Amino acid sequence: MNIGFIGLGIMGRPMALHLQAAGHRLAVVKNRSDIPADFVDGGALVCASPREVAEASDIIIMMVPDTPDVERVLFGPGGIAEGIGAGKLVVDMSSIDPIATRGFAERIRALGSDYVDAPVSGGEVGAKNAALTIMCGGEPDAFARALPLFELMGKNITHVGGVGDGQVAKVANQIIVALNIQAVSEALVFAAKAGADPAKVREALLGGFASSRILEVHAERMIKRTFDPGFRIELHQKDLNLALGSARSLGLALPNTAIAQQMFSSCVSMGGEGWDHSALVKAIEQLGNCRLGE
Amino acid sequence: MNIGFIGLGIMGRPMALHLQAAGHRLAVVKNRSDIPADFVDGGALVCASPREVAEASDIIIMMVPDTPDVERVLFGPGGIAEGIGAGKLVVDMSSIDPIATRGFAERIRALGSDYVDAPVSGGEVGAKNAALTIMCGGEPDAFARALPLFELMGKNITHVGGVGDGQVAKVANQIIVALNIQAVSEALVFAAKAGADPAKVREALLGGFASSRILEVHAERMIKRTFDPGFRIELHQKDLNLALGSARSLGLALPNTAIAQQMFSSCVSMGGEGWDHSALVKAIEQLGNCRLGE
């Protein structure tokens, strides 16, 4: 199939290579940076703009950083909207604003094509191993059309609901991950401040109702002080901005999400925008002028 | 062995019966309420006061509601301190203040006896099935002396550290459980408010980094609106009071724990002190004037 892929970054590059390796013909955009040789050698069509990519493709996938990037790729000068006719499918795998997503989908549908939002989790490792979790929103037909491509890139693929619902699920995921990190941080810093060994406390709690992937994985990073990402604080800040911005426009208060965002900002004040998000514990430590472990 | 057991409530009664069934001779206190026939038929010694229980026992276990109750049983008129000599062991399985616990232990040790704090989680079901999680603090010898009794009442038994550290672990557990409930509540209410199906979102998130026992068990209760306890909000409020009170005296701010406590208070304003703690979601729903599901 002819597939356009826009956004060949840390995530997009390995994802697109899986599609090419399965025999699909890619169309990509020549950008500021050169197109990696892998794509050219694999027969990819190198285009001058998203418009040309859309003209040359049946399905156009986007994997770009943020909401304004998606908007520019879709509707900016030389954008997808200029090159898309009827009967094509746009798949946005970026993690962006759910409400803006619904507006983008409406405008693409008005041109006669379909739209699926399909943000991922699993990071660079998941992208390289074709093991991403993919959360999808869109009409059943459109989802079915994209599914064979998703199966080349991910493992845990859920059709959550209508268009935008994939982004909603991704935001919900990032809320829970941030707040579970804060939960473990408050509990372990409390334990250390009260004179107990945080590693022993973590051990006593695993297996009970406090157990979580975050208590397994991130609590260990906190105790061992290994804050290399992983998932960078500045990216989690972007995701919580989506949560808080959407919540504001929907009319909903998310108090603990708001505080977690403030704790990430406190980490940034320490120079931590590039730390793993488990380093949120350092902001809680500062609230008690103490430190987990030595 | 001669074992004193003070506090034959919903938790204490089944715990004490396991000890009696294993052949230990119990000493219990005749209180406002009658002693259940099970204990009398099983040969238990019915005493007039904790002092008499302490005189008649090698190990004295307490399972009472709160810090002032433990203090009264230990040091009030007719309390354990009046009847305890050298070489005995006091085991407090109540969930109480970790810092007060260390003071109690010091006073008991000054009388020549040992002290272990061993709060539990697992609720009435865990108590009946002898499947409690038991978090222990105390000297290694004292812990070893109590361990055979713990093994008659629980399954996941951890020696966390010195005296008080069991209570610290229990408080840490209750912080994480409350904040993970709030995490799931904010995420699912956000999802519902943004137009997605919370049940589908939960399904998409299970197995990823957002996964937790709370997402498995309590999120389902939220979606199905089954708020029969389980674990009552008023009890979780007591535990968060321990967390926030101890944190204040230690000099530590726990912002999300403080907010979760406020959300529980909001539930109480709706008449919810007896609801399961997963009903915290109702306070978040009120922050968005909405409701998960129908």
Q: Which residues of A touch B250 (CB under 8 A)?
A: 190, 193-194, 288
d(Cα B116, Cα A252) in Å, to the nearest integer? 46
Interface test with B, best of A102, A134, A143, A201 (most B CBs within 10 A): A201
Q: What is the mean pLDDT of chain B?
A: 95
Q: Which two tokens stand for residue A192?
A: 């250390």
* β-bridge partners, A156: A133
Is residue A88 among the annotated active site residues?
Answer: no
Average pLDDT rounded to a whole number, residues B84-96: 96
Cβ of residue B155 closer than 8 Å to a chain A Cβ:
no
Does residue A35 register a pLDDT over 90? no
Is A20 within 8 Å of A26 (Cβ atoms)? Answer: yes
> Looking at residue A33, what is its pLDDT?
67
Q: Which residues of B touch A186 (CB under 8 A)?
A: 175, 179, 254-257
At B203-214, the pLDDT tens digits run: 999 988 999 999
Does residue B294 register a pLDDT over 70? no
d(Cα B26, Cα A64) in Å, to the nearest integer? 69
- Do the chains contact at B253 and A287, CB–CB below 8 Å? yes
d(Cα B92, Cα B100) in Å, to the nearest integer? 12
> Looking at residue A294, what is its pLDDT?
57
Amino acid at A158: T
Cβ of residue A175 closer than 8 Å to a chain B Cβ:
yes
> Which among B133, B162, B175 has the least Cβ separation from residue A183?
B175
Pairing of strands A154-161, B25-29: unpaired
> Looking at residue B281, what is its pLDDT?
98
Secondary structure (3-state) at A252: coil
Smallest CA-to-CA distance from B215 within B229, B201, B226 is with B201
> Looking at residue B32, what is its pLDDT?
62
Does residue A251 register a pLDDT over 60? yes
> Looking at residue B123, what is its pLDDT?
86
Average pLDDT rounded to a whole number, residues A143-148: 98
At B146-160, the pLDDT tens digits run: 999 999 999 999 999
Cβ of residue A165 closer than 8 Å to a chain B Cβ:
yes
Cβ of residue A106 closer than 8 Å to a chain B Cβ:
no
Is A162 within 8 Å of A137 (Cβ atoms)? Answer: yes
How many whole angstroms from its chain centre is CA A175? 12
* Cβ partners under 8 Å of residue B103, min gap 6: none
- Do the chains contact at A209 and B187, CB–CB below 8 Å? no
d(Cα B8, Cα B10) in Å, to the nearest integer? 7
At B179-198, the pLDDT tens digits run: 999 999 999 999 999 999 99
Q: Percent of chain A having pLDDT more than 90? A: 92
Residue-by-residue DSSP string for chain B: -EEEEE--STTHHHHHHHHHHTTPEEEEE--SSPPPHHHHHTTPEEESSHHHHHHH-SEEEE--SSHHHHHHHHHSTT-HHHH--TT-EEEE-S---HHHHHHHHHHHHHTT-EEEE--EESHHHHHHTT-EEEEEES-HHHHHHHHHHHHHHEEEEEEEESTTHHHHHHHHHHHHHHHHHHHHHHHHHHHHHTT--HHHHHHHHTTSTT-BHHHHHHHHHHHHT--S-SSBHHHHHHHHHHHHHHHHHHT---HHHHHHHHHHHHHHHTT-TTSBGGGHHHHHHHHTT--S--
Interface test with A, best of B134, B156, B181, B190 (most A CBs within 10 A): B190
Nearest residue in chain B measured CA to CA from A174: B210
At A172-209, the pLDDT tens digits run: 999 999 999 999 999 999 999 999 999 999 999 998 89
d(Cα A209, Cα B20) in Å, to the nearest integer? 29
* Cβ partners under 8 Å of residue B99, min gap 6: A194, B164, B246, B249, B250
Per-residue pLDDT band for B73 (boundaries 50, 70, 90) equals very high
The separation between the first and the last C-alpha atoms of chain A, rounded to the nearest angstrom, is 57
At B35-54, the pLDDT tens digits run: 778 898 899 999 999 999 99
> Which among A172, A212, A246 has the least Cβ separation from residue B211?
A212
Amino acid at A3: I
Residue-by-residue DSSP string for B88-129: -EEEE-S---HHHHHHHHHHHHHTT-EEEE--EESHHHHHHT
Amino acid at A16: A
At B239-252, the pLDDT tens digits run: 999 999 999 999 99
> Looking at residue B33, what is its pLDDT?
67
Q: Percent of chain B having pLDDT more than 70? A: 99
Does residue A32 register a pLDDT over 80? no
pTM: 0.94
Q: Which two tokens stand for residue A175?
A: 């809320």
At A209-241, the pLDDT tens digits run: 999 999 999 999 999 999 998 899 999 999 999
